[in-house]
Amino acid sequence: MSTLAHTMMTAARSADSGLAGPGELDRYPFADAPAVDRVGVPVWEGADPELGRVGRRTAGSRGRGLHGQLVQQLGQMIVSGDLGADRPLVPEEIGQRFEVSRTVVRESLRVLEAKGLVSARPNVGTRVRPVSDWNLLDPDIIEWRAFGPQRDDQRRELSELRWTIEPLAARLAAGHGRDDVQQRLGDMVEIMGHAMAQGDALTYSRADTEFHALLIQVSGNRMLEHLSGIVSAALQVSGGPVTGCDRPTEVSLAHHGRIVDALAAADGGAAETAMRQLLTVHPEVERVVPAPREH
C-alpha cells in the first residue's frame, strides 16, 4: 500500500474523534474525553501544507473513509485557490494522484458539486466554479476557509454573523419556556464548569457547541434553526477574532449561566444582553464587530 493511501486510511479511522452531536455529551466523562488527532493530508502539486491542519471536524457531508478524505483534500485545495476557478478536474488524473478508485473520485466530485465548488457538464467535464457560486454557509466550506488563506476574512464574517443570529435567538428563546431544554442548557453550563476546572478543553468545547445549538433550536424560528450549523462551525474553528466561546474562562462561563437564568425568567431582553456580553468578552472582538448602541 502506498504512503498516500495509508495516510488517508489512517485519517479516516481518526474521524471518530470528532465533535459530539446534540445529546451525546453524556457519553464523555470529563477527564476521559478522547483527544482530537490532527491529521496532515498529503498535498497535491505545491498546495499549502497548512491546508492539512484541519483539527476539529464539522458534522458536514464529507462522510468517512477514502471518499471523505478526498472530499476534504479537494475542497481545501479549491477554497485555498490552489485549484482556481474554471480549472478542469479530470477524474482519471485525480484517481492516479490520490491512488483511489474511480468510484471514490466520482462520489467525491458529486459532494463538491452539491456545495457549489465544481460543476459537471456534458462535453465540458468537471470544472472548478467561481467563489460567487459556492455555498458559503456550508459548514465544510466555512471550515476550509477558516484554515486557508482566507482565514481572517472567514473568522471576521463568522463573528459578524453570530452577532446577528445569536442575540436574536436568545431573545426569542426566552419566550418559549420549555423546561426540558432549559434543564439541558443548565446541564451544559455545569459540564463546562467541570471541564474548565479539569483543564478539559475538548469537553468544554463540546458542551459549548451543544449549548448554542440548543439555544437556536428553541428560538421557535425555523429560519434561525436552519442557520444553527453556521454557529456550530464557528465554534469549531479556532484563532482569529476571539469571543467568549473561544477560551474557557470564569467570565464566559458566567455569561452562559446568565443566559440560562434569563431564559428561566422569560426575560428576553436580559437573555439578549447576556449573549452580546458573551460575544464581546475579549476586547479584540470590539474592533471587529462594534457593539450596537443601546436605545
The pLDDT of residue 256 is 96
Q: What number of residues does the chain have?
A: 295
Using an 8 Å Cβ cutoff, are 241 and 284 in contact?
Answer: yes
Cα gap 174→135, rounded to integer Å = 31
> What are the strands, taking DSSP E only, across the chain?
88-89, 118-121, 125-128
Cα gap 82→178, rounded to integer Å = 48
The pLDDT of residue 139 is 86
CA distances from 258 to 16, 188, 214, 218 (A): 33, 13, 16, 17
Residues of the chain with pLDDT under 70: 1-64, 177, 238-247, 281-295
> What is the identity of the amino acid at 191?
I
The pLDDT of residue 160 is 86
The pLDDT of residue 281 is 60
The pLDDT of residue 42 is 33
**C-alpha cell recorded at residue 127:** 470544472
The pLDDT of residue 232 is 78
Task: Identify the CA nearest to 244 among candidates 203, 267, 288, 275.
Answer: 275
The pLDDT of residue 241 is 44
Q: Cite the DSSP H helix spans in 115-227.
A: 139-146, 151-173, 179-197, 201-217, 222-226
Cβ within 8 Å of residue 52, ≥6 positions away = 39, 40, 41, 42, 43, 73, 76
The pLDDT of residue 168 is 94
The pLDDT of residue 58 is 36
The pLDDT of residue 287 is 41
The pLDDT of residue 177 is 67
Instruction: For 90-121, write each residue's pLDDT tens digit.
Output: 999 999 999 999 999 999 999 999 999 999 99
What is the C-alpha radius of gyration for the chain, rounded to an integer number of angstroms? 20
C-alpha angle with apex 235: 221 to 242, nearest 5 degrees? 115
